[in-house]
Copies of this chain bind each other. A is one copy, B any other.
Amino acid sequence: MGRVQGAGDRPEDEAQAAAEAVSALAALWARAPQAVTPRVSAHQLRALHAVGRGHEVNLTRLAEQMGVSLSTASRLCDRLEAAGFLERGVPPSSRREVCLTLTDGGRRLVAQVAECRRRHLAAVLESMPAEGRAALLNGLHAFHAAWTVTCPPRPEDGT
């Protein structure tokens, strides 16, 4: 495995050299929400992701996970509910909470975005030489492992 042009030995230099590539990768990821139909905003999609991932999500938990205020989460759910992507339910345990769940349409939308990202990423992977592709996949795997260890639990900004 050869050296990357312009990458020094210090992590700061390496990060500098990787910056443009990471920007491109981030752009590919951020672009997907605009490609699905019906088109929803990035924020609405983040909410659908957060609801779809967790179990028994109430509004307070959703707001925490998204890193927004409670009122914002409430308004967001108003529109997602009106659009038919999400439902407010009343859990039997506590009548003052709401239990957020995705509708079939909501799940379909989330799946569409994931599929879109996967397809676009795959398209670039296909055009890469096998060696570079293998390096990227191994490198990403190592990055993810290191990330989950070092990164504190933060709001889910990655859509």
**Chain A residues in the interface with B (C-beta under 8 A):** 1-2, 4-5, 7, 10-12, 14-31, 114, 117-119, 121-129, 131-151, 154, 156-159
Output the residue of A15, A136, A145, A158 with the most chain B CB within 10 A: A136
A148 to B23 CA separation, bound complex (whole angstroms): 12
- CB-CB nearest in chain B for A138: B135
Q: Contact: A22 with B18, CB < 8 Å? A: no
B14, B122, B131, B135: the one contacting A12 at CB < 8 Å is B122
Q: Contact: A18 with B138, CB < 8 Å? A: no
Q: Contact: B16 with A118, CB < 8 Å? A: yes
Interface majority SS on A: helix, strand, loop or mixed? helix
Whether A158 touches B1, Cβ cut-off 8 Å, given contacts A19-B118, A136-B140, is: no
Q: Contact: B25 with A26, CB < 8 Å? A: yes
Given A22-B25, A136-B136, A136-B139, 10 more pairs with CB closer than 8 A: A21-B147, A23-B29, A24-B144, A24-B158, A26-B26, A26-B30, A27-B158, A31-B154, A135-B136, A135-B139
Q: Contact: B140 with A21, CB < 8 Å? A: yes
- CB-CB nearest in chain B for A18: B140
Output the residue of A114, A123, A140, A154 with the most chain B CB within 10 A: A140
A154 to B26 CA separation, bound complex (whole angstroms): 13
B19, B114, B132, B141: the one contacting A114 at CB < 8 Å is B19
Q: Contact: B14 with A125, CB < 8 Å? A: yes
A76 to B20 CA separation, bound complex (whole angstroms): 25
